[in-house]
Chain A
């Protein structure tokens, strides 16, 4: 059974770096894209970016300058780092798996709330 679980600090100060990890079980990393998506309070879903198992990455243009996604298959994890956060980055952050853009994001983590506040 495929399972994804986000982990990381629930509170980050403005201007600091947000770091989250997604631990994956029940699936190989091979052939998949591993994505991060977020949902600010009372708003819709926003794609942050993905990393392919090959190491190729792609980021939302509006976040690209602040975001890095990395992969550690030895630990069955992939991670998100977002620098210079502001209150606008407060959101529930989800990790998810996708085989291709036409196959959809088929498995998601439960999500983790990150609040940016001093």
Chain B
């Protein structure tokens, strides 16, 4: 049971906009930054969004992040086949005094 809650799956067709939610609590998302990672099988996870909505250099602006209260979202616009991956949210949890991840959302591009 992950501390941060994500839907196990999401899907969309090429060109569509998809959003993935991440729900937490006041001890994690409510007071700390949310980061998002893209994970393709057999590869290292890739930092996609940091500090709620910032994009590292090289990440397309099709990817965007937002946070409100104790929830966060990752939006992917102009969906492409190469976006098919598992997406994880992550934040610091002050009560656990450690980093916590969501359970991951497997995105399928139909």
Contact = CB atoms under 8 A, between A and B. Distances in A.
A108 B44 contact: yes
Interface residues of A, number: 22
Given A45-B101, A58-B97, A102-B51, A111 B44 contact: yes
B45 A94 contact: yes
B39 to A, nearest CB: 8
Nearest to B2: A44
Interface of A: 35, 44-47, 49-50, 58-61, 94, 101-106, 108-111
Given A45-B90, A59-B98, A105-B47, 20 more contacts: A44-B2, A44-B102, A44-B103, A47-B99, A47-B101, A49-B98, A58-B97, A60-B98, A94-B45, A102-B33, A102-B51, A104-B35, A104-B51, A104-B90, A105-B37, A105-B90, A108-B44, A109-B44, A110-B43, A111-B44
